Structures are given as structure tokens and as C-alpha cells.
Amino acid sequence: MSASTPGSSAGTAPENVVIIGSGPAAWTAAIYAARANLRPLVFEGEPVGTELPGGQLMLTTDIENFPGFPEPLSGPELMERMKAQAVHHGTRVVSELVKEVRLGERPFTVVPNYSEAVQAHTIIVATGAAAKWIGLPNEQRLATTGGGVSACAVCDGAMPFYRNKRLVVVGGGDTAMEETLYLTKFASEVVVVHRRDSFRASKVMAQRVLSHPKVRVIWNSRVTDVLGDDFITGVRLEDTVTGATSELEVGGLFVAIGHTPNTRFLNGQLSTTEHGYVQVTPGRTATTVDGVFAAGDVIDDYYRQAITSAGTGCMAALEAERWLAHHGIEDSAATTEATNTEAASAVAVSTT
């Protein structure tokens, strides 16, 4: 971005709304804010390891549960369409990660990795969460190619290729228990592999898993490799007590060892829950700093779905719009022919 970018700290007017992130929450917020004539500016992030602009769905081959798409479509395709819709309505996009925000003074300051800092009246944090993986090369390879390795049973478990197969769940917390019970609807057997000799999950959940006729638990074990060329055929296990190794034939692997919300750049300026998710007013997207809103998986350790993220993204944009109106700022957002042209060129520059 050049020094003349609207809202930059070079002395131009602050942005009405800066949206940080690029999953379903961010693009939905952008669509709503753009249609409300707020000319949102989105920082969509950059590729870092398996984290890509576009969010978690960039790692998914088929999405069958996003309403409006009776034929399965790929995660990258869905995200491309959401972004295109936001841009079509006037959203400007910068392909950089935000490394810092300063929320102590108004307008707020948003500092991206390379370009100039931007000032903003309101901010929507939609940076999502990263699923934790075991960290095995073959696990990553098969997870990114639709090869039967997933970090979301509710998302992927109903796919035809998992039906009537033996599936493995790795984990021992409540999420692992939920994923296990969900998979019993489709699998011939669900094997839970846990590195300790008892579950960390709540007693009720653990008991439901342990008493389920389709579930078997392999205690004190960890997965050390994932077998199979194009699709998983098995996992290699190591006993954490004896060190003995074995192989188990399986038709799918579900890793359920938790998520990490992407909040580091906030540097503790927003209150978080005990699990590190951004804290919002119940039923709303308002954070503990007035004028800063948060949406998507970064506030949600319970539903974690594209549609729920899109829903809270919509809420955040509506709340930002009302915040601006309440503070009498909405008129400064009125677009002119000139600023529309400027917006279009910012998109062209930043998305190449």
C-alpha cells in the first residue's frame, strides 16, 4: 500500500472498519460492511506453514454442509467465492498478516507486517484458530490431499469413504469424546488412541465413550506414522510405557488434540476465556474494548463450523455499523467516485 492509502497513519482519515482474517467470518463481515457502504479494509494474512489466507477450509477437499451448495465444493473454491463477493461490493484487501494492534488510543492502530500502519475507528478480529496436528509428515500430506486424515469429524466424518470402516481418533479430551461418538454413526469401529491411561475429558463424556459398543480404546499409545500412498491404510503405534510398536489397519484418522486461537498479535489487549479464545459479550460479538468486535473460531471453542463463523461475522459487521452510527462516524464513510476508484486500485495492488 502507498502512503496515500485511506486510513494510513500518514494523516488521512481513519478507516471505518478494519477486518483482520480471511475465513468465513472475515469475508461475511466484509460483505455486510461493504454493502453498508463502510468500505472495509481486510488484512487477509499470508501463507505460514499450513496456515493460508482463506483459513482452515483451504485444507479441505469437499464441503457438504455449507447451505446453498447441493453439490460438494472444495474449501478453496468456497473461500474464493466468499472473497470475490466481498471484493465485488467494494472491500479492499491487503495480503499481509497483522503483527500488532494498538487499542489504547482512538482511533485504533493496525500494524501489518510490511506496509504502513493503518488507523481504524472499529476493528473486527476474525483470525480463526489453528487445529493442532500430531506433526507427522504423512499426516500433513494426507490431510491436505483428502487422503482420509482430518481434524474435524463433524465436518468430514459423514463422507462416504469413511462408512463402515475402522476409524481412529487421537485425543483424550471432551472434543475427542464428541468426535468419537459422532463417528460411531458411520464407522464399523472407532478406536481411540490416547497417550495416557485415563481420559482428561469430563466423566460423563468419557463414560459414554467407554460404554459404547462400537468403541475400543488403546491406552498409553501414540501414533508415530500414518501409512498409505493416496489414502490412509493404517497407523503405526508406539506404546508410551514399553516402547513396543505395532500397526493398526484403519480407513480414517481424526486428530482431536485441540485448537489454538490466533490471538498472539493482540498482545493481551483483549480479555480472553480460560482457553485463550477472545471473550465477547454473551450472544454478541463485542469484546472487552469498545469498538473492537470478534467473530468466528477465534471466539468459539464449541461449534467451530464455517456457517457459525459466517453467522458471527455478519453479527460483527452489524455491530460495527451500529457503533459507527452511534458515534456519528457513518457519514465520514460516505463514498465518493474518487474513493471508489482508490478502493479498486488497492484491491488490484494487494491481491496480486
Ligand X SMILES: Cc1cc2nc3c(=O)[nH]c(=O)nc-3n(C[C@H](O)[C@H](O)[C@H](O)COP(=O)(O)OP(=O)(O)OC[C@H]3O[C@@H](n4cnc5c(N)ncnc54)[C@H](O)[C@@H]3O)c2cc1C
Q: Does 16 bind ligand X (CB under 6 A)?
A: no
Active-site residue 314, yes or no? no
Which of helix, strand or coil describes residue 211?
A: coil
Total residues belonging to the chain: 352
> 159 burial class (0-12, 13-18, 19+ CB within 10 angstroms)?
middle
Binding flag, residue 219, ligand X (CB under 6 A): no
Choices 18-26, 174-182, 223-231, 334-342 (CB under 6 A): range interacting with ligand X: 18-26
Catalytic residue among 62, 152, 239, 297: 152
Amino acid in the structure at residue 45: G
Please identify, using beta-carbon distances, which residue of 150 and 285 lies nearer to ligand X. Answer: 150
Tell me the window of 3-11, 122-130, 279-287, 321-329 that interacts with ligand X (CB under 6 A): 122-130
Regarding 45 and contact with ligand X (CB under 6 A), the answer is yes
Nearer to ligand X, 253 or 329 (CB): 253
How are beta strands 15-20 and 118-125 bridged, if at all? parallel
- Residue 63 interacts with ligand X (CB under 6 A)? yes
Name which of 162 and 221 has its Cβ closer to ligand X: 162
Among 62, 156, 225, 314, the one annotated catalytic: 156
Q: Which is nearer to ligand X, 20 or 177 (CB)?
A: 20
Closest to ligand X by CB, 22 or 221: 22
- Subset of residues 131 to 150 that bind ligand X, contact rule: CB under 6 A: 131, 150
Query: Which residue's CB atom is positioned nearest to ligand X?
Result: 128
**Helix/strand/coil for 203:** helix
What spatial distance separates the first Cα and last Cα of the chain, rounded to whole Å?
Answer: 12
Tell me the closest approach of the beta carbon of residue 330 to ligand X, in angstroms: 25
| Cα separation, 116 vs 2, whole angstroms | 8
Helix or strand holding residue 100 (H, E) = strand 98-102
Cα 181 to Cα 169: distance, rounded to the nearest angstrom: 10
Given 17, 25, 169, 315, the residue binding ligand X (CB under 6 A):
25
Q: Fill in the per-residue mask, 275 to 314: x = in contact with ligand X (CB under 6 A), - = not in contact.
A: ---------------------xxx-----xxxx-x-----
Question: Is 155 tagged catalytic?
Answer: yes
CA–CA gap between residue 63 and residue 79 (Å, rounded): 11
Among 8, 119, 127, 180, binds ligand X (CB under 6 A): 127
Q: Which of residues 1, 73, 152, 167 is near ligand X by CB under 6 A? A: 152
Compute the distance between CA of residue 221 and CA of residue 170 in angstroms, rounded to an integer: 10
Helices (H), the chain: 24-35, 75-88, 137-144, 153-156, 174-183, 203-210, 306-326, 337-350
Select from 17, 33, 155, 169 the one that contacts ligand X (CB under 6 A).
Answer: 155
The Cα angle at residue 12 between residues 6 and 17, in degrees rounded to 5 = 50
CB atoms within 10 A of CB 75: 22
Q: List CB contacts of 1: < 8 A, sequence separation 6 or more.
A: 8, 94, 115, 116, 346, 349, 350
List, by residue number, the catalytic residues: 152, 155-156
Task: List residues near ligand X by CB under 6 A.
Answer: 20-26, 43-45, 51-53, 55-57, 59-60, 63, 65-66, 97-98, 126-129, 131, 150-152, 155-156, 262, 265, 296-298, 304-307, 309
